[in-house]
Amino acid sequence: MNIYSRITGTGSYLPPNRLTNQDLVDQLAAKGIETSDEWIVERTGISARHFASPEVSSSDLAFEACIRALKSAGRAVSDVDLIIVATSTPDMVFPSTATILQHKLTQAALAEGAEHGAAGCPAFDVQAVCSGFIYALTVADAMVRAGSAHCALVVGAEVFSRILDFNDRTTCVLFGDGAGAVVLEATRHEGHGSGILATDIHADGKHREILCTPGTVVGGQVMGDPTLKMDGPAVFKLAVGLLDSAARAVLEKSGVSLEELDWLVPHQANIRIMQSTAKKLKLGPDRVVVTVHEHGNTSAASIPLALDHAVHNGQIQEGQIVLLEGVGGGFTWGAVLLRM
């Protein structure tokens, strides 16, 4: 029998500061920028989002999501032998947010009396923006299949509120902060048992300018613009077609038909993109997990946040076939097909 990887636990965390559309409308109005709850909902489907406090980092959000995922899986920090964090808003230029998370998890485990934590296992970040979790899960799956890991934490964590331009109503209303995590473990089975059935990831740098944060640090000073820039119509046009092709690719690789698919968990970017993608795949709204109305676009965190929500509210059941897919700046895109 071959080695496969299987999600055995999920967890998520949202910072407590919840901003409704009206909260944001009032804040923008004080700066002379006009928008409305109706305008935001009609164009995006978003009603609220969560923003982290200034002292809270991506690793802090990731830590909380990981603790919940480990509890869900019945695993301890000491069981973890791989940590991958997908983020576009790291704690520092370096070291990686994954190593900072590793230390926080280890310190918490030791404080509770464990003999050791997760120190010593590989830990690194993946940067593919909103496709980051799909990329990270694909890498973790490959490492588990190769025998390089047996119990991995795969995390998406973002504090996108830090890089928003609050003078641009077309982007600042879209994004939020949060984290989602899964425990991915090695399993053995024949045929289509539980686990990751297929993955498919891509990138094309010629589209890099339609969604980017074009700032950097030079000589201790910010060079360029450190806030998010997006060509919304261009992103929409690309996203729907690429998500459709990635979805069909993993279905073909796995030999699973669209009729066998139980759930689509898309990147929670915009309700219109999600609805258009589902329509192309001939999936009804009752087979699509939607959390964008409450979370906004949390970039790399959005898919694991939505997955955890659907698992813990009873939508996604053990044994069901689930399609995860996302697109992000780069331009990057990809999909993962799995049986829970």
Mind telling me the catalytic residues? Answer: 130, 267, 297
Query: Looking at residue 210, what DSSP letter applies?
Result: G
Beta-carbon contacts of 198 under 8 Å, excluding residues fewer than 6 positions away, are 249, 250, 251, 253, 254, 336, 337
The terminus-to-terminus CA distance of the chain in angstroms comes to 19
Of the candidates 199, 194, 202, which has an alpha carbon nearest to the alpha carbon of residue 254?
A: 199
Question: Residue 119 CB: number of other CB atoms within 10 A?
Answer: 16
Q: With contact defined as beta carbons under 8 Å apart, do 180 and 130 qualify?
A: no
CA distance 221 to 236: 33
Which token pair is 203?
Answer: 């990138």
Single-letter residue type at 61: L
- CA 37 to chain centroid, in Å, comes to 25
CA distance 325 to 330: 16
Calculate the alpha carbon distances from 191 to 2, 194, 255, 278, 313 in Å. Answer: 9, 9, 11, 27, 29
- CA 227 to chain centroid, in Å, comes to 20
CA distance 52 to 159: 7
Query: Looking at residue 117, what DSSP letter applies?
Result: -
Q: Are strands 151-159 and 82-86 parallel, antiparallel or unpaired?
A: parallel
